[in-house]
Structure 1
Amino acid sequence: MTAYDVEPGDGVHPGKPVTVDRYTLAARINHWITAISLVLLALSGLSLFTPSLFFLTALFGGGQWTRAIHPWLGVVLFFSFGILFIRFWRANLWRSEDNTWLTRIRDVLLGHEERLPELGKYNAGQKFVFWGMSFLILVLIASGIVVWDQYFYAFTSIEQKRIAVLVHSLAAVAIICVWIIHVYAAIWVKGTMNAMTRGQVTGGWAWRHHRKWLRELVAGKRDTAGTPRTPAE
């Protein structure tokens, strides 16, 4: 039976060093489309949020073009992240080791990973980002539709639009903060960026940060090939 966090395309390749397939090409393309659309949404949204950032509209061809493009970028983000959600939701389900990881957050920040439990494909912090993004994108698309007057003006009242604008703005600020945390963590944990650029990590990286997931991959390879293998750097 396949482990809950082992996804199609995950695999271990013996060698010096051992390499581990973490993301397929399709998953990486999906991720970068989501990331780029989120950045463009943030820039276009901030340019419309306050006059002091209106200069950012130059990136999109001016104020009118920015106003027209912004909601469509939201549609791209919604569907792109929707595909990511279908890919990764199962691996982001909460597990007992995530509670232990949270109680030992000080060790996480100090880099004392030997004191942490063995983790699956994602740790509790990554799962918070995933579910936080999922919730906030739903809020953004719902509130965005309410104020998208070009197509939906007649379906909502002025009062509803005012509330939607406030909710949309708060959700946008929140998702920008989550995105900053996500990027910072990816840069902070050395070797993580390789996963989303090349699709692979070293066996040592997987052993250090996601040992439970690596054990599951090795066990699956053993069961398939009939030859036990030991994860190594």
Structure 2
Amino acid sequence: MEAERLQPGDRIHRGDPIRVNRYGPAARANHWIIAASLILLSISGLALFYPVFFPLTALFGGGQWTRFIHPWIGVVLFFSFFVFFFQLWRANLPTRTDVVWVSHLKDVVAQNEDKLPELGKYNAGQKFIFWAMSGLILALIVSGVIIWDQYFADATAIPVKRVAILVHAIFAVLIICVFILHLYAGIWTRGTLRAMTRGSVTGGWAYRHHRKWLKQMVGARRIDPAE
């Protein structure tokens, strides 16, 4: 049932303005760890990938340090993201509403909210980012471990490592693209960044963008008294 997809911290706070909890402190901290890890991995990965970007290794103390640090940042990203994953995967399961939302992409781009279906906590675009990140990070950690010669040099054959290097490079480019898309969407939809800085959104924002989610909280009586 849709109501079961409410997160433990989802609550409405009466006041002027009405505030709606979207992410708790731990989730927000983890989100910024993920974001910082992705940025550092992108910079260090590009520095190792193509000679023109090699000067970026100076940010990490040189080429050797970059090669040493890069996979460990990947480990941080993997564990941080999958803590996030197990908290949010149920809320990101596809629904029929997502199909309707995708069929109205022109209205999404034009921000014609009155022509879109009522949405739960996440829309189809956000769910795409979530599942794309999940798959790409999993593929990157697997391929990254295969080519992590400092610890796993003898674990796989050379032909396997060659394939893993190619897979790692392709998926790295894809995750950079997905990350840019996620960043753009967060800036483009006014009020979204507040959820990851303050942990809450206004009642008006929730009503406009995620009305079904707001109604779920009302139906579940997740409403605190006025402060």
What is the TM-score when the length of structure 2 is the normalising length? 0.96
Asked if structure 2 preserves the Cα contact closer than 8 Å seen for 1:97 and 1:117, the reply is yes
Unmatched tracts of structure 1, length 5 or more: 228-233
Q: Establish whether residue 101 from structure 1 lines up as the match of residue 127 from structure 2.
A: no
Deviation of the 1:8 alpha carbon: 1.0
* 1:35-75 deviation per Cα after TM superposition (whole angstroms, max 9, x unaligned): 11111111100000101000110110110000000000000
Counterpart in 2 of 1:70? 70
Alpha-carbon displacement from aligned partner over 1:72-96 (angstroms, at most 9, x marks no partner): 0000000000100011101000011
**Aligned partners of 2:21, 2:106: CA distance in 1, in Å?**
29
Partner of 2:47: 47
Return the alpha-carbon distance in structure 2 between the equivalents of residues 24 and 4 of structure 1.
Answer: 18
Q: How many Å separate the matches in 2 of 1:203 and 1:126? A: 20
2:124 matched to which residue of 1? Answer: 124
Deviation at 1:4, TM superposition (A): 2.9
Q: Secondary structure at the match of 1:155?
A: coil
CA distance in 1, matches of 2:13, 2:75: 38
The alpha carbon displacement at 1:5 in A equals: 2.5
Secondary structure, counterpart of 1:16 in structure 2: coil
Query: 1:197 corresponds to which letter in structure 2?
Result: T
Moved more, 114-123 or 7-16: 7-16
- 1:148 matched to 2:148: yes
Asked if structure 2 preserves the Cα contact closer than 8 Å seen for 1:41 and 1:74, the reply is yes
Per the TM alignment, residue 14 of structure 1 is displaced from its structure 2 partner at its CA by 1.2
2:5 corresponding residue in structure 1: 5
SS in 1 for 2:118: coil
2 CA distance for matches of 1:147 and 1:76?
Answer: 17
Give the TM-score normalised by the residue count of structure 1: 0.94
How many percent identity over aligned positions?
Answer: 60
The answer (yes or no) to whether the contact 1:5–1:213 under 8 Å persists in 2 is no
In structure 2, the residue matched to 1:85 is 85
Q: Which residue of 2 aligns with 1:110?
A: 110
Structure 2's unaligned 5+ residue stretches are none
Name the counterpart of 2:195. Answer: 195
Distance in 1 (alpha carbons) for counterparts of 2:81 and 2:48: 23
Q: Distance in 1 between matches of 2:204 and 2:172?
A: 37
Query: C-alpha root-mean-square deviation of aligned residues, in Å?
Result: 1.5
What secondary structure is seen at the aligned counterpart in 2 of 1:154?
Answer: coil
Instruction: Give the superposition deviation at 1:2.
Output: 8.0
Q: Which structure carries more relative contact order (alpha carbon 8 Å, separation 6+)? A: 2
Query: In the aligned structure 1, how far is the partner of 2:54 from the partner of 2:5?
Result: 44
**Which amino acid letter does the alignment assign opposite residue 116 of structure 1?**
L
- Residue aligning to 1:162: 162
Partner-residue secondary structure (3-state), 1:201 = strand
Query: What is the match of residue 231 of structure 1?
Result: none
SS in 2 for 1:176: helix
CA contact (8 A) 1:147 1:165 kept: yes
Aligned length: 225
Q: Report if the CA contact (8 A) 1:44-1:57 is conserved.
A: yes
Decide whether the 8 Å contact of 1:122 with 1:210 is kept in 2. yes
For the Cα contact (< 8 Å) 1:9–1:21, is it kept in 2?
Answer: yes
Deviations 1:83-125 (A, max 9, x none): 0001110100001100000000000001101100000000000
CA contact (8 A) 1:104 1:116 kept: yes
* Runs of 4+ displaced beyond 2 Å: none
SS across alignment from 1:221 = coil
In the other structure, the counterpart of 1:230 is none
Tell me which amino acid in the other structure corresponds to 2:133: M
Pairing 1:138–2:145 present: no
Letter in 1 for 2:27: A
- Equivalences for residues 23-62 of structure 1 within 5 A: 23-62=23-62
